[in-house]
Amino acid sequence: MEVPFFRPSITEAEIEEVIACLRSGWLTTGPRVRQFETAFAQAVGTQYAVAVNSCTAALHLAVEALGLRPGQVVLVPTYTFAATAEVVRYLGAIPLLVDCDPLTFNLDLNDAAAKLRHLREGKLPIDRRAEVVGIIPVHVAGLMLDMDEVDDFARQYGLWVVEDGAHAFPAAYWSIRLGRWRRAGQQTAAVTCFSFYANKTITTGEGGMAVTDNPNLANRIRQMSLHGLSQDAWGRYNGNGPWDYQILAPGYKYNLTDLAAAIGIHQLPRAEELRKRRESLAYRYREELAGLEAVELPPTAPDRVHAWHLFIIRINPGKSPLNRNELIAALRRSGVGCSVHWRPLHLHPYYRDKLGWQPEHLPVATAVWERVLSLPLYPDMTPEEQDFVISRLRSLLATQSSLRAAA
């Protein structure tokens, strides 16, 4: 048997909508994008949603709309994908890398406060006089940070918040302050950005969304998503808007197509159903792997609705006969797709050699990443496929343990 790391869950409804879009003669940004935006804003509980071609684009547009300038500093978790920090560099600003919580891998606000102190003390590879203006938290694997705490931190230090929700739809946390569940993007940041990449919790193949309750930010994001033009193509060509347009700013080419939105229109109503399937698979992993001393399992919490974008285990170096790299190689040889999320930013050549970050600046993430391994997890995963993954993992570890004991 071969079990892929991921397989998208696509139904006939998505396929038929794509075919209808092709037959309509309108393939780029148009009525299906607008329909998707409206439905997504309602699903999140926000005023405005702007569809773009990736979460990276959404993050870039968000920090641009907030006026990020060269030389300014933004707090960014080191334990994240490239996009979270690179959008800061796009505008000539500087990411101040923050260590992660050792259990959840989410940004550690205590370390963020320490990093701000260290910056002023001249202990970091950033000019101590630089102005710190924002923070971009990430909900790793779909387990949300407490955004009330992030908000308190941001207010204390006078920062704006852009929420990287690439893993976090539909995710939520219990807000003690509000006394209710609060979804990612539901007034949790100035702008929240979501991903619809092929392996995300819902997909449009490639795609993203920026949501906000601020009309000025929404208007700027929409304008800059398509060359800074005053009118989009749908408005100019459908007969309902003026044919003329003006360039208001040097924007970008980040618009989502109707072909992509055609998939999203039918993925969106399935979001909670798909999340529950992931959750069921995740709980079964937890039950079946609970007895493996060589493996530490991802956390859960009663005050969180986990999106379960990823199922990240940690290899216990004191009890596992195989290190993480050896286990990945063995699993792949046996037909199990797996991955690593992620090498922390400070351990990449650009951040190390160009920006001066060293392992000792971020010790938790430095240690964590050598142990992490993401197992296959997708809504249409069959019991037989999951049994195979569990069996191969248990067998490899048990066999190697026996061999080590015999030696």
Lowest model confidence (mean pLDDT) among 68-72, 90-94, 127-131, 231-235: 231-235
The confidence band for 402, taking pLDDT boundaries of 50, 70 and 90, is: very low
What does the pLDDT read at residue 407? 41
- Bridge-based pairing state of the strands 295-296 and 311-315: antiparallel
Residue 212 has pLDDT above 60, yes or no: yes
What does the pLDDT read at residue 398? 80
Phi and psi angles of residue 26, each rounded to the nearest 5 degrees, phi first:
-115, 110
The confidence band for 406, taking pLDDT boundaries of 50, 70 and 90, is: very low
Alpha carbon distances (Å) from 330 to 298, 338, 385: 21, 11, 17
Cα–Cα distance between 181 and 407 in angstroms, integer? Answer: 53
Alpha carbon distances (Å) from 211 to 62, 79, 106, 228, 377: 9, 23, 21, 19, 27
Q: What is the pLDDT of residues 376-386, one digit of tens each?
A: 999 999 999 99
Phi and psi angles of residue 344, each rounded to the nearest 5 degrees, phi first:
-60, 150
Q: What is the pLDDT of residues 22-61, one digit of tens each?
A: 999 999 999 999 999 999 999 999 999 999 999 999 999 9
Q: Which residues of 57-86 are buried (b: 16+ CB within 10 A; e: fewer)?
A: bbbbbbbbbbebeeebbbbbbbbbbebbbb
Task: Verify whether residue 200 is a known catalytic residue.
Answer: yes
Q: Which long-range contacts (CB under 8 A, 24 or more apart) does 295-304 make?
A: 295/320, 295/393, 295/397, 296/371, 298/141, 298/143, 299/103, 299/104, 299/143, 300/143, 301/143, 303/173, 303/174, 304/143, 304/144, 304/171, 304/172, 304/173, 304/174
Q: What is the pLDDT of residues 365-378, one digit of tens each?
A: 999 999 999 999 99
Q: What is the pLDDT of residues 121-159, one digit of tens each?
A: 999 999 999 999 999 999 999 999 999 999 999 999 999
Q: Which of 200, 253, 276, 319 is catalytic?
A: 200
Cβ neighbors of 308 (< 8 A, separation 6 or more) are 141, 142, 201, 275, 278, 279, 281, 282, 377
As a whole number, mean pLDDT of residues 162-172 equals: 98
Average pLDDT, the chain: 95
Model confidence, pTM:
0.95
Residue 276 has pLDDT above 70, yes or no: yes
